[in-house]
Amino acid sequence: MKSESEDTETGYHRHLERSQKRWDRKSDRYDRDERELAPMREAAIGSLDIEVGDRVLEVGCGPGTNFEQIRSEIGEHGSLIAIDYSPDMVKAARQRVERRGWENVTVRRADATAADIGNGFDFAVAILSMSVMPDIQKAVENVYRSLRNGGMFVAFDVRDVPEGPARIVNPILRWYFRWYANWNPDGDVVESVAAVFDESEIVETYVAGIGYTVVARKSR
């Protein structure tokens, strides 16, 4: 009989494998498919006061959809390290960097939950990525470790309806998120961020709270 930790590990790797397949497949049309979310992702990144020269980490960067905005905020003298697990997403993100000639944007292929993603970052950004991690709490802990004291994290993401009669749609919503994005039903981004970070606040919600932006600070 398998132990509970073996089951957890198998579940983790299955989730990661599914993620790779899903996102590899979507890599060539991702920007087009996700266009309508642009105002929300831009507002989320804009809620951090990123300045010229800052060091920024992007977790689950996809094909680099947010690079233009982050690069314009950090300028030539800051740096952006972007991480994604899907090889095809990484390839698309690197092509974008090459096309634009950005010398201070680096794309790494890694599992942001478990890899050493560096440290001393001023800001970390996760757009629609924390909820698809194979272990959400561990991913949030990893982001926390990567920040300097006083560093800030923003996540824009989706969840099921948090309260009220509209919760009736939750079973369909959960099924849809899982089917479309390999969303992880076993974790809660907002709860994990509140548990791990020293301060956190939901600063914006969309469509009955299904979309949300949470901002968090590391103080110690």
Ligand X SMILES: C[S@@+](CC[C@H](N)C(=O)[O-])C[C@H]1O[C@@H](n2cnc3c(N)ncnc32)[C@H](O)[C@@H]1O
Q: For binding to ligand X (CB under 6 A), which residues are involved?
A: 16, 19, 23, 34, 41, 60-62, 65-66, 83-86, 89, 111-113, 127-129, 132-134, 181
Q: Are 26 and 141 in contact (CB under 8 A)?
A: no
Strands 55-59, 121-127: pairing is parallel
Q: Which residue is nearest to ligand X (CB)?
A: 62
Question: What does the alpha-carbon distance between residue 168 and residue 146 come to, in Å, rounded to a whole number?
Answer: 38
Question: What does the alpha-carbon distance between residue 219 and residue 148 come to, in Å, rounded to a whole number?
Answer: 9
Nearer to ligand X, 56 or 132 (CB): 132
* Residue 23 CB, nearest approach to ligand X (Å): 3
User: Whose CA is closest to 131, among 67, 168, 176, 163?
Assistant: 176
* Residue 129 CB, nearest approach to ligand X (Å): 4
Which burial class, exposed, middle or buried, applies to 196 when counting CB atoms under 10 A from its CB (0-12, 13-18, 19+)?
A: buried
* Residue 165 CB, nearest approach to ligand X (Å): 28
* Residue 55 CB, nearest approach to ligand X (Å): 18
Nearer to ligand X, 61 or 152 (CB): 61
Nearer to ligand X, 132 or 193 (CB): 132
* Residue 35 CB, nearest approach to ligand X (Å): 10
Nearer to ligand X, 60 or 187 (CB): 60
- Give me the residue label for tokens 């944007």: 105
Amino acid of residue 123: F
Nearer to ligand X, 181 or 203 (CB): 181
Question: What does the alpha-carbon distance between residue 42 and residue 40 come to, in Å, rounded to a whole number?
Answer: 5
Nearer to ligand X, 91 or 167 (CB): 91
Strands 147-158, 121-127: pairing is parallel
Q: Which alpha helices (H) appear in 29-153, and where do they start and end?
A: 30-33, 38-46, 67-74, 87-100, 136-146
* Residue 73 CB, nearest approach to ligand X (Å): 15
